[in-house]
Amino acid sequence: MPITIENLGEEIDFSKQDLLQEKSILTLILQNYIDFLHICGGKGKCTTCKTKILEGMELLTPLSPAEERLKRLNRLQADERLICQCQWSLEKIDLSSQAVLRLAVLPENQLPHLQYVPLESDLGKDS
């Protein structure tokens, strides 16, 4: 069950046991020693872990109340999630298959000490 952070060139593969522990996507990433901005400590208040989901949105748990509030305020787009708030949705994943989650760190949430690769969709855009 890989999670690919597209613009960091990182891929994390999880065992079924990891998924059954019902941890947030952010927790799974941090446990694999990948730096990821999360100022509020996973409470869904700061939006620093807001991430663009490129593939696999349907495999995640529904929006949390914090995400619903941000969506109402137009601070969370349809293809974005707070990864501190979402988990793999165990009801939607066939544990015998290879589910994939591809995401990208948004420019405003990129850490200065990491090197990010532009997404193909970003190429050709003015800086």
Hey, where are the domains in the chain? 2-110
Calculate the average pLDDT of the chain.
Answer: 84
Residue 54: pLDDT above 80?
yes
Q: pTM for the complete prediction?
A: 0.83
Helix residue ranges per DSSP H, the chain: 16-20, 25-31, 65-72
Q: Which CATH architecture has domain 2-110?
A: Roll (3.10)
Q: Say how many C-beta atoms besides its own lie within 10 A of residue 112's C-beta.
A: 4
Task: Lowest mean pLDDT of 19-28, 54-63, 117-126, name the range.
Answer: 117-126
